[in-house]
Structure 1
Amino acid sequence: MHTGVAKTLVGREHHMALLSSVMEDLANGRGSVILMQGEPGIGKSALLAAGLAEAAGRGLDVRHGVCDELNQRLPLAVVQQALGDAFASGGQRGDTTADHPASDDAQGHHSARFVTGDPVTAAAEELLVLVDRLCAERPLVLALDDLQWADEATLLVWRRLCRTAAQRPLVLIGACRPVPQRSELDLLRRDVRDHAGTTLTLDRLSDAEVAELARRIAGLAAGPRLLGRLELATGNPLYVREIMDALSRAGALDESGSEAELGPAVPGRSGADPGWAEFERMSLAEAIADRLAFLTAGTRDTLRTAALLGPAFAITDLTVLLGCPAVALTAPVQEAMAAGVLEPADGHRLRFRHGLLRQALYESVPAALRIALHRDAARTLIAQGSSVERVAEVLLAATDAADGWEVDWLLDNAAALTRRAPDAATTLLAHALTHTDDHDVRTRGLLAHLASASFRAGHYEQAAHVARRVLTHRCDPEQRGRAAWILGYALLHTGEIEEAMTTAREVAAGLEPDTKWHARLHVFTGVVLHVLDRGDEAASVAAAALAVGTDLSDAMTIAYARHCLGLTRFDHQDMDGAIDHEMCGIAMTGSDPELVDLRLLMQGNLVSALLNVDRFAQAREVLADARALAERTGAPRLGMFVGHAAEVAFETGCWDDTLTELDAVFAPDYQHTHYPHLTFTAHGIAAVVAAHRDEQGAARHHLAVLKDLTDDPYSKRNLTYYFLARAMVAERSNDLPSAASALREVLDPSYDVMDARASVLPLLVRLALATDDRELADSALACVEAEEARSRLPHVVAARKWCHGLLRSDPALLSEAVDYYRGVGRLAEMAQALEDAADLLAAAGQTDRAREALNDAMLTYTTLGAVWDARRAAARLRVRGVRLGVRGARGRPRTGWEALTDTELKVAELVAGGLSNPDVAEALVLSRRTVETHVSHILAKLEVKSRRDVTGVALAHSS
């Protein structure tokens, strides 16, 4: 009898040829994606194993994991296990709490900490960076089997890798069943299709292929009666093999002649048919059970214990659970491998040959015994010092195994588990609380941890409920203060703002005055007062808290007080004051994990203030640090920084970089639900850039999206770009009245958004004058004058001069505006003001000066790729008799080295130097995701398929 998984690869020659081709391409630096689909037993795992064996034979780095239906509660665990030693040596770099161990509470247990950010998102980013670095070392094959059981975070990481696999020497191979049906898998299938991946659907074998498979298994051609019985397998290779093996084990297979045929009936079997009539009723699960029944009792017991450890397991873990030396497992492991139940996974682990085998073993253990085994397994893992995740995985697989004995372990490890998997922590903590009561001194600690874990998991109502329970207990000021803080912020998240302030004040009143938590809760009320638009009260409270915090040297109080004062200064248009407070507050946060969210919030506010005074270089520096921290910690505020980065690039005329940033926002998996206004900003900016570049189809697409969103209850500030793009599209169609009407909306008194409209008012004045609507032009001037009087922001002053210059036909005022825009780097506004100045000069008969201004504008339009602006300017001045001295703006070539933008050229050179995407991002102070988008554009523009090809093109252009 010939066994071996490779023997089942009948009818899969085409699939193996494809895998061989993919591995050859990978050896040459070209990545790709393969998704295998098919019913259980159809041969996905066997085909995957054969492909991975070939990859290993080529010297490629091969990493393999199996998703598990029984253990889906720890997100990303399967990817971490697949990466193995690479993750162990490089993992947890993104854990900002690693260098800040929690303090001990009165019971000697690690206390809960108020740490924000999404640990799952942070872990996902860490894994993506690790994959990039592995690919930079040598070509990587990353495979996951049974994707239908993968947790959502794993599928999200897999999708992101799918979309960028071609950027690096990476082959992704996933295998999944058609059921259970999951929307996340549908999205994965779409990504594979949309990014030139390959989907392999494994069909059932034909009759001829079943006969060939039987011949390979038996070593002889199958006789007609045997083939008749194998029809029960309906072409499923696993079922064919299980039936053949069951027949062989029972001695019902006659291999003595030239054919393998059914032998005589076996005593003890029912029915007179020589091939056992019961095989006509035997299911696949029963065939597998029959295989397991032929194992010795000791081997079955060993395998049942191993089934608790997952699809793959380390021999060392099994020896610990069984309490025996490794040598004692030699016989049962060898028997299980010979029987086709186990197979090698890697140098240190074994795995079940098929998930159905493990499932059958797992389910064969009575529920009560299974609970006991899980309990023993968890206790043993704890005793040997296994990781928090490993113990939690065992507990989560059978929560009933945790019946109170685990409370002390959970108290000691809840903070670490919360940082890794807050949802899992909330489940275990809530369950542990069912085994303690109010008289148990441990209850208070469990509640504190549960409040923190619930908040970090985003379960704000639960966090508030649990924090209230903490406050009902007698606890020390540290625990009361921390619980009140969590409760307050949870209430802010659920919109119960007044209650948040009341709670903070009540708890603070019960604490000693001028102590740490008294000061912190006091400054929290200041933050809430600002949310309630009671700015003067907020400033007074924050100033008092700042004084106390300074006396106490409490960084948290000082930072929050500075933040609150910065907000009030911003509201009063005191940008210098706002910048000073935010910078001082940021400095106080240091690297404290409890202040990460505050640091990011202050950095976002600081960028806003810097943009208001056109300090773009400094804004870029703050953004670089903030985005890196947000990516590393999984903070939802990342969306805010992407929006800021797009705006900085847009305002300074780096429109190609703007569109690259926006590509990330438009990606299907991009999460910006915390900042819904980012949708307005992103589509608005994209529409404006498209209109400038005379890409009318793209402009109208983004406008159509925005039209469907304008009824959402968000600030009209986010519609500024929408109004501008509408006006530009109308002007492009020579419909100047409609263009002016589109911008008229910014004059609505309800549009009270500081300087947001200032940048578009000069255009409104020009359009109003072009349509002889002096009243509208005067209204626009009055609006910008009011803005200037209120804010005195420098670019509002420049906009007012521009508007005055147009109304007074005074090119000197426009020149002043031009000088300002040139000095701060607002290239688009500089060019448009130059164009208007050229028009006024030409009208005054100063043709030479007009031509000089026009040429200056045209050079800038060319730099920006502003094709429509160049055409408009040329047409306006041609009527005045002014001809171009320079060529107008032309579009950049769409393909080839010359098609690359300045940033893409820098990225391409670093890629050619062998740097991974994270290394490129670090070198250019960019987001890793932004670099991914740049690399994708580079590959498309150069019409190449790999980083190695990019290197070749770069070398050709450098020689």
Structure 2
Amino acid sequence: MVNLFGRNEAQRLLADATAAARAGRGGLVVLRADPGLGVTTLLDAHLSAARELGMRTHRIPVLPQSGTTTLSAGAPDLTEPTTIAIDDLHRADDATLLALHELADGLRDRPLLVVAGRHRGVEPARFAALDRLATAHDLEPLDDCAVRAVLTEFSGGEPPESLLRLADGAGGNPWLLARLTADDRATAVTTWATGLAGDDAALLRYAAILAEPAPVDELAAVAGMTPVDALARIVRLAGIGLLVEEGGLVRFRHPVVRQDLAATSAGLRGSAARALAARNAVPRAVAEQLAHTPVDAWTVDWLDEHSDRLAARPTPAVVDLFHRAVSGLPPGDPRLHPLRAALAEALMWSGRTDESQRIATASLAAHPETTIRHRLRAVLALICFREMDPAAAIAALDPERVDGKLSGRLAAIDAAACLAAGDLTGTERAVELATPAAAHDPLVEVFLLNVEATGLFVFRDLDGALQRLDRADALLEIAVDDRGLWLMSRLLRAVVQDLRHDKAALETVEQARPIAREIGAGLLTWLHTIAALASFNNGLWDRALDEIGAAMALPDQYGLAGPLHGVASMIMLHRGDLPAARVHAELAERSPGRGVAVFYEQIAVLASAHVADAEGNSQRALEIVHTLAAGDVGVHHAHTVATVGARLVRIAVTGGDRDLANRLVAQMRDLSTGESAGERGALMYCQGLVDSDVDVLLAAAQEFTDTGSPILAARAAEDAAKVLAASGRSADARAAYQTAIDQYTALTATGDINRADAALRAFGLRRGATGSRRRPKHGWESLTAAEYRVAELVAQGLTNRETAERLIVSVRTVDSHVSRVLSKLGYSSRIEIALGFGERE
């Protein structure tokens, strides 16, 4: 009864047909299904139920070779209530089908029920006419509930998660589900699948050992046939439910079948590897086959020829193949040193750095030739870089310096290490040494493009940084197969995008995450740091805390604990948890940094300033801001001030130090290129704060809203409300206040809400005991602070261009505001805005 789970509809159909036959109204029922879906079991259950009702039953077999049945000689003449079952009708000969046609014509007036089962994908056109005379029913794979019921019966209780995951590969096929836990499953499944495939069993086995989805022409090549012949056979195998072919790509319908066939077809992998190599398949595809075969001379020669590409993007199978090849070579073999270097590199990119370091160090002790020696030094330096220890990376390269100079590739690595260490002079020197090699070595060029991009964003040339990264990406796509460099390029792009207040930074992080997880160590922690900052800046604070938690759960934070705690501290402050914010700020101060952490030192320092400000210790907060403004923090004060300038100016203004605020604004203006909306918004906001210019503050709030910086948008609206309230413009102040509160509420920024309430209460503005209200969709109260200010200027008779100049925004932004004002107020002209505004005043 196990395979009858999920077959209630089919059982009801057969029960109704049986009742009708007993009443003298017979019929033909055809059950169509893919192999393994339980037709045989269903027929057995049907015959058993019919016998219990007193009906005569007959099971008519189809002979495997000839397809003949007892119906081949003609239809039987039966007068008693009878049910006939025919399994594997797809194998039946033409005479049997003709006999069924004759029977079907007269069954409605006879007490005879014929139930036949067949594979639905086998010659469907041959059975079309018979299906029209029959009641056809398609058996589908079992749904999740039925699968769980089957597994529960097998397990004798709730199936474990491991079995449920395994069952996913069976695709709801009852026959496969019944064998998931069998000791001989691979043999049984192979026998079943190859029996169904018949003459195409070898092709099916080759499909199992190739990576999915396998191109038809590649499968044809390893199977030794033409693509046309292979495709015809694939179509037949698809018809019986074993394969799926879409757009020239082939995959198995049931992953567990592929898995078991591959396990029993290892003998085919050697010939498959040679066939793939002969057609210049990607080395990884050949290596995946060779990983399951003994290492012979051909394998070693092929591996030696393709070791560079394989080592750059290794799989566990490739690493194992390198290991076996190296261990089988005698001392003195000219292929030994190159393959050992490739093995060290493959281990490094696989995250097995201890093994990589041991092999590289031992290989260097054997004094290999210069090219191999440089490759091994590069491995040792990159391991240090991966561990966020740039000083050690520089030291690892020292033995190769001749008169203070390095070869092109080593100089490129040295440049990246010097930059990560904050040594800008050393970076310039290394770049100068590496540049000539970049003309003929794209790998060196990618290294230098990443270094240049970093230097450019440090000095606030964000567009220039993206241009360099675009060129690096093009080379990585066309000429360089190095996932370490690819990951570095992705991470740098995310940093630049976040500095531009571009939400695409979060997408870039997700692109990089799988490779960062594979390589691990400091690069994974760096990814979590970038993701935490981007999430924080975009108002996704729970996501930011998740990234921080994931980083802190790693065995080592590689010097990045400071900025991670700094971000956590600021989130806690925004949410009103000062004790937690204080703890994180203290941890940030105590956490030593190394490597790329030098680019994030301002985050930890800023957190301490915010905590001091929140505690009412404005003197301490201002001292910290003075330190940042003086350029005493971080790799370069241009990067430090530009990154957190808006927050620094706010602390200076709040603390009453206008000179410091003006100094910071001047620094920001000198550093600004005006390339990004985020940069323009920050400068606009700071100038508005210093000048107490409400128009500029509201324009900045809108700019921040448009660029996806919700916390800065809320701060700007709150500061605008304070200026408006101080000048006695209560209605305008209330609108800006409500805008700020709405944005704080969306961020769950309880601490900011409480602080804003307290600050504005001094001006007589209150939200009431019920807290923030939902902004209406229509009417004057529906306008945001920026929209209200635009309406006010329109009412004064200013054109859109004049309004844009007054607010220091684009004309397009004003156009959008005017359109929204008209829509929300239900007006059709600017005159109506002016009249309506006059009535409010």
Preserved contact between residue 412 and residue 430 of structure 2 (Cα < 8 Å): yes
Output the amino acid matched with 1:652: N
Kindly indicate whether residue 431 of structure 2 is the aligned counterpart of residue 535 of structure 1: no
CA separation in 2, counterparts of 1:482 and 1:723?
40
Paired letter, 2:574: H
Q: Structure 1 833/431 Cα, relative in aligned 2: closer, same or farther at 3 Å?
A: same
**Pairwise CA distance, 1:877:** 2.8
- Distance in 1 between residues matched to 2:256 and 2:381, nearest whole Å: 47
For these two proteins, the number of residue pairs brought into alignment is 549
Question: How big is the alpha-carbon RMSD for the aligned residues of Structure 1 and Structure 2?
Answer: 6.0
Amino acid at match of 1:880: F
TM-fit CA distance, 1:862: 3.7
Deviations 1:308-342 (A, max 9, x none): xxx9996667xx79xxxxxxxxxxxxxxxxxxxxx
- The answer (yes or no) to whether the contact 1:543–1:565 under 8 Å persists in 2 is no
- For the Cα contact (< 8 Å) 2:646–2:686, is it kept in 1? no
1:48 positional shift: 11
SS at match of 2:315: helix
Report 1:84-99 matches (<5 A): none
**1:612 aligned partner:** 499
User: Which residue does 2:447 correspond to in 1?
Assistant: 560
Secondary structure, in 3 states, of the residue corresponding to 2:335?
Answer: helix
Q: How many Å separate the matches in 2 of 1:50 and 1:579?
A: 45
Q: Could you state the TM-score of these two structures normalised by the residue count of structure 1?
A: 0.45
- CA distance in structure 2 between the partners assigned to 1:87 and 1:642 by the alignment: 38
Gaps (5+ residues) in structure 2?
1-140, 184-204, 219-251, 277-284, 635-639, 776-841
Question: What residue is the counterpart of 2:760 in the other structure?
Answer: 877
Equivalent position SS for 1:755: helix
Structure 1 pair 886–631 and aligned structure 2 pair: CA distance change class (3 A): farther
1:329 counterpart residue number: none
2:746 partner amino acid: T
Instruction: Classify the secondary structure of the residue corresponding to 1:594.
Output: coil
Determine which of 510, 515, 523 is the counterpart of 2:412. 523
Aligned positions of 1:160-309 closer than 5 A:
none
Alignment of 1:586-665 (within 5 A): 586-590=473-477, 594-614=481-501, 616-620=502-506, 622-623=508-509, 625-627=511-513, 630=516, 637-653=523-539, 655=540, 658-660=541-543, 662-663=545-546
Paired letter, 1:580: Q
User: C-alpha deviations, 1:258-278, integer Å up to 9, x for none?
Assistant: xxxxxxxxxxxxxxxxxxxxx
Name the CA distance, whole Å, in 1 between partners of 2:147 and 2:650.
51
Deviations 1:137-185 (A, max 9, x none): 999999x9xxxxxxxxxxxxxxxxxxxxxxxxxxxxxxxxxxxxxxxxx
Match of 2:592 among 673, 694, 713: 713
Q: Distance in 2 between matches of 1:890 and 1:483?
A: 65
- C-alpha distance in 2, partners of 1:598/1:880? 56
The whole-number CA distance in structure 2 between the counterparts of 1:642 and 1:800 is 28
Percent identical: 22
8 Å contact kept, 2:653–2:689:
yes
CA distance in 2, matches of 1:477, 1:496: 22
CA contact (8 A) 1:524 1:560 kept: yes
Please tell me the residue identity of whatever aligns with 1:854. Answer: Y
Aligned residue in 2 for 1:81? none
Q: Assess, with a 3 A threshold, how the Cα gap between structure 1 residues 844 and 716 changes in structure 2: closer, same or farther.
A: farther
- The AA in structure 2 aligned to 1:852 is A
Residues 695-732 of structure 1: per-residue CA shift (max 9 Å, x gap): x4xx755764664454221258757666777777888x
1:306 aligns to what?
A: none
Match of 2:315? 419
Q: Which residue of structure 2 lines up, in the alignment, with residue 286 of structure 1?
A: none
Q: Which amino acid aligns with 1:605?
A: L
Letter in 2 for 1:588: L
1:856 aligns with 2:750: no
Counterpart pick for 1:549 among 416, 420, 438? 438
Query: If the length of structure 2 is used for normalisation, what is the TM-score?
Result: 0.51
Q: In the alignment, is the contact (CA less than 8 A) between 2:588 and 2:604 conserved in 1?
A: no
Corresponding letter in the other structure for 1:420? P
**Separation in 1 of the partners of 2:340 and 2:274?**
25
Aligned to 1:27: 145
Q: Which AA in structure 2 matches 1:444?
A: H
List alignment gaps of at least 5 residues for structure 1: 1-22, 38-42, 68-83, 99-136, 145-310, 322-377, 396-401, 511-517, 769-773, 893-959
Q: Does the CA contact (< 8 Å) of 2:447 and 2:485 recur in 1?
A: yes
In structure 2, do the counterparts of structure 1 residues 783 and 66 end up closer, same or farther at CA, with 3 Å as the change threshold? farther
Q: Is the 8 A contact 1:455 1:463 kept in 2?
A: yes
Counterpart for residue 829 of structure 1 = 712
Q: CA 1:619/1:886 → structure 2, altered by over 3 Å: closer, same or farther?
A: farther
Q: Counterpart of 1:577?
A: 464
Within the candidate set 701, 712, 716, 1:818 is matched to 701
CA deviations 1:594-615 (Å, max 9, x no partner) are 332212212322332333333x
What is the CA-CA distance between 1:854 and the residue it aligns to?
A: 1.7
Given that 2:345 and 2:379 are in contact with CA atoms closer than 8 Å, whether structure 1 keeps it comes out as yes
Amino acid at match of 1:751: V
Contact 1:471 1:480 in 2 (8 A): yes
> How much has 1:767 moved relative to structure 2?
4.5
Classify 1:427/1:890 alpha carbon distance in 2 versus 1 (closer, same or farther; 3 Å): farther
Task: Supply the distance in 1 between the matched residues of 2:299 and 2:436 (Cα, whole angstroms).
Answer: 45
Structure 2 matches for 1:697-736, cutoff 5 A?
Answer: 700=579, 704=583, 707-708=586-587, 710-714=589-593, 715=597, 736=615
Q: 1:548 and 1:812 mapped to 2: Cα distance?
A: 54
The question of whether the paired residues in 2 share the 8 Å contact of 1:788 and 1:797 is answered with no
Q: Distance in 2 between matches of 1:613 and 1:53?
A: 45
1:449 to 306, 319, 342: 342
1:95-139 CA-to-partner distances (Å, cap 9, x unmatched) read xxx9xxxxxxxxxxxxxxxxxxxxxxxxxxxxxxxxxxxxxx999
How has the CA–CA distance of structure 1 residues 747 and 33 changed in structure 2, closer, same or farther, with 3 Å as cutoff?
farther
1:844 aligns with 2:727: yes
Secondary structure, aligned partner of 1:882: coil
Cα distance in structure 2, aligned partners of 1:571 and 1:51: 52
Q: What's the CA shift string for 1:777-798, capped at 9, x where partnerless?
A: 6545545544554566776775
Cα distance in structure 1, aligned partners of 2:536 and 2:169: 50
Q: Pick from 457, 471, 496: which aligns with 2:392?
A: 496
Deviation for aligned residue 1:866: 3.2
| Contact preservation (8 Å) 2:621, 2:651 | no
Show the counterpart of 1:249: none
If you compute each CA radius of gyration, which structure gives the higher value, 1 or 2?
A: 2
Q: Cα 1:595–1:57, aligned 2, differ >3 Å: closer, same or farther?
A: closer
- C-alpha change, 1:821 and 1:86, in structure 2 (3 Å) is farther
CA distance in structure 1 between the aligned counterparts of 2:143 and 2:620, rounded to whole angstroms: 57
- The letter for the 1-side match of 2:464 is G
Maintained 8 Å contact 2:142/2:172: no
Q: 1:883 to 1:591 in 2, by over 3 A?
A: same
Q: 1:568 to 1:427 in 2, by over 3 A?
A: same
Q: Does the 8 A contact of 1:784 with 1:799 survive in 2?
A: no
The 10-residue stretch of structure 1 (577-586 or 622-631) with the greater mean CA deviation from structure 2:
622-631
Q: Could you tell me which residue of structure 1 aligns to residue 199 of structure 2?
A: none
**Kept after mapping to 2: 8 A contact 1:811/1:837:** yes
| Larger RCO (alpha carbons 8 Å, 6+ apart) | 1
Q: Is the 8 A contact 1:603 1:623 kept in 2?
A: yes
Give secondary structure in 1 for the equivalent of 2:718: helix
Q: Which amino acid aligns with 1:648?
A: A
Q: CA deviation at 1:51?
A: 11
The offset of 1:409, in angstroms, is 8.9
Cross-structure match for 1:153: none
Partner of 1:272: none
Distance 2:424 2:210 in 1: 49
Q: Tell me, yes or no, if structure 1 residue 437 matches structure 2 residue 331.
A: yes
CA distance in structure 2 between the aligned counterparts of 1:847 and 1:574, rounded to whole angstroms: 42
